[in-house]
Amino acid sequence: MIAEKVLFLVLDGISDRPCEDLDGLTPLAAARTPVLDRIAAEGVCGIMDSVAPGIRPGSDTSHLALLGYPPQEFYTGRGPLEAEGTGIHMTAGMIGFRCNFATVDADGLVTDRRAGRISGTEPLAEAIRDGVDLSALGIEFRFEAGAGHRAALALVGEGLGDKVSSNDPKKEGARPLTIRPCTDDPADAETARACNEFIRQSGEILYGHPLNVRRMEEGLPPANLLLIRGAGKMGELPPFSERYGLSGSVISAATLISGIGKVVGLEHVPVPGTTGSVDSDLDAKVRTAIEELGRKDFVLMNIKGADEAGHDGKGIQKRDFIEVIDTALAPLLDLKETLIVVCADHSTPCSVKDHSADPVPVVIRGPGVRVDRTNRFDEVSCAEGGLHRIRGRDLMPITLDLINKSHKYGA
């Protein structure tokens, strides 16, 4: 039997390093994961360098690699992908940025880069769209709120470049930076000028917005500044359906992952109740993925909450959420004629509170797979599996071969 469908499950940032508060185990190794362990026992396992050994991948470059679009060839910056994910249709040449709603105090110092992990920022985004005017610079803009504290900005105009810096100081207690061109190209100088003006005008709007006034009355940090970064110029990526001959969908609460899926032609399927955090409705996400497999050949599903716990350095919370993930995945065990690919996109060690270059575990389960002797899904156990150590860009070719969609090399 040969599988006809593919479920590509990315457990965002689930991989880690030994944690002191977990007796030297990783959160994944410390968690009770009977479902993931059964998938490992019934599949072929390995470890994977999302981009290459020693390279710390972003969620953007890693997902491009996992989908078979090597970032060395296709990556133009995170901003355009994030913008697409928020609902801004990015066409070739548009300049995109990822944004954070942040908090500055009366002295102009950044006190919270995520504005208390604010959510429900659409009223703020609407006020910015209505109030900011860049027409004097001959530039139009698109601005949309994303999940939580995230948002995206796109600039449209002639003579704009994407080689500009960020205003994000990357730490609390510092002043926002001035965005500057990174080259002598006048196009980059024009983009920097537009960004600084956008930040100035949006800050004035956010300062007195009723939502922020209410937050301050409640003792919550106001979202009174936009930090923008990740500039990139939108390019063109070959459609997934033409590249692989597969129809596909993407299911993710993270706007970046939705954006990556959309720019390669996967249909974004929103799922009410999914947040990208540890409070996400994973049961609804899994149900939707199974439904999508009824009408599509390929489904990319991203589950993100473990990554957030890693960034916060909360090993116990990360372990506990991994157990929640595992319980929610139980219905996948009943899928027939389906290749299930499970991996992380990168490691997010609690000790680092950021991405690392540590390889991640990967397992493939389904018809035709040569089952190895690994029976635990964790960073060390999977290293002993039959896939051995692969690169992220290898995963789609391996998957295509297992569903009999690869092409012979040579005669």
The answer as to whether 411 is a domain residue is: no
Contact (Cβ atoms closer than 8 angstroms) between residue 244 and residue 124: no
Instruction: Report the C-alpha gap between 149 and 123 in whole angstroms.
Output: 13
On whether both 91 and 59 belong to a single domain, the answer is no
On whether both 137 and 125 belong to a single domain, the answer is yes
Instruction: Report the C-alpha gap between 407 and 411 in whole angstroms.
Output: 11
Give the pLDDT confidence score for residue 228 in this predicted structure: 97
On whether both 44 and 106 belong to a single domain, the answer is no
On whether both 296 and 389 belong to a single domain, the answer is yes
Give the chain's residues under pLDDT 70. none
CATH classification of the domain holding 287: 3.40.720.10
The pair of three-digit structure tokens given for residue 373, joined into one six-digit string: 């002797």
Give the pLDDT confidence score for residue 275 in this predicted structure: 77
The answer as to whether 410 is a domain residue is: no
On whether both 71 and 94 belong to a single domain, the answer is no
For 86-143, the DSSP string reads: HT----TT-EEEEEEEEEE-TTS-EEETTTTT----HHHHHHHHHH---GGGT-EEEE
User: What's this model's pTM, rounded to 2 decimal places?
Assistant: 0.89
Contact (Cβ atoms closer than 8 angstroms) between residue 77 and residue 230: yes
On whether both 208 and 241 belong to a single domain, the answer is no
Give the pLDDT confidence score for residue 274 in this predicted structure: 83
Q: How many domains does the chain have?
A: 2
Give the pLDDT confidence score for residue 185 in this predicted structure: 97
On whether both 66 and 91 belong to a single domain, the answer is no
Q: Tokens 């009410």 identify what position?
A: 272
What's the pLDDT tens digit per position in 182-226?
999 999 999 999 999 999 999 999 999 999 999 999 999 999 999
On whether both 99 and 47 belong to a single domain, the answer is no
Give the pLDDT confidence score for residue 254 in this predicted structure: 87
Q: Which domain holds residue 171?
A: 83-233
On whether both 307 and 212 belong to a single domain, the answer is no
